[in-house]
Amino acid sequence: MKNSNIIYCDFDGTVTKEDSVNKFLAEFADTRWLDIEEQWVRGDIGSKECLFRQVELLPEFSSSELDKYVDSIQIDETFVDFCETIKKNGWELVIVSDGFDFFIERILKKYELDVPFFANTLTLQDKKLHIDFNFSDSFCPSASGMCKCARTTTEDFCYIGDGLSDVCIAAKAKLLFAKNSLQKYCEKEGMDYVSFNTFEDILDYFSQKGDLNAKFSYINN
CATH of the domain at 165: 3.40.50.1000
For residue 110, the enclosing domain spans 6-220
pLDDT at 214: 47
pLDDT at 4: 58
pLDDT at 210: 58
pLDDT at 62: 95
pLDDT at 144: 87
- For 164-180, b where at least 16 C-beta lie within 10 A, e where not — what string? bbbbbbbeebebbbbbb
Considering its fold, how many domains does the chain have in total?
Answer: 1
93 domain residue, yes or no: yes
Q: What angle do the packed helices 32-42 and 20-28 form, to 10 degrees? A: 150
1 domain residue, yes or no: no
65 domain residue, yes or no: yes
pLDDT tens-digit map of 8-34: 999 999 999 999 999 999 999 999 999
pTM across the whole model? 0.90
pLDDT at 211: 45
pLDDT at 138: 83
pLDDT at 131: 96
The segments of the chain whose pLDDT lies below 70 read 1-4, 210-221
Round to whole Å and give the CA distance between 199 and 221: 23
pLDDT at 2: 44
35 domain residue, yes or no: yes
Q: Are 15 and 161 in contact (CB under 8 A)?
A: no
Beta bridge partners of 120: 100
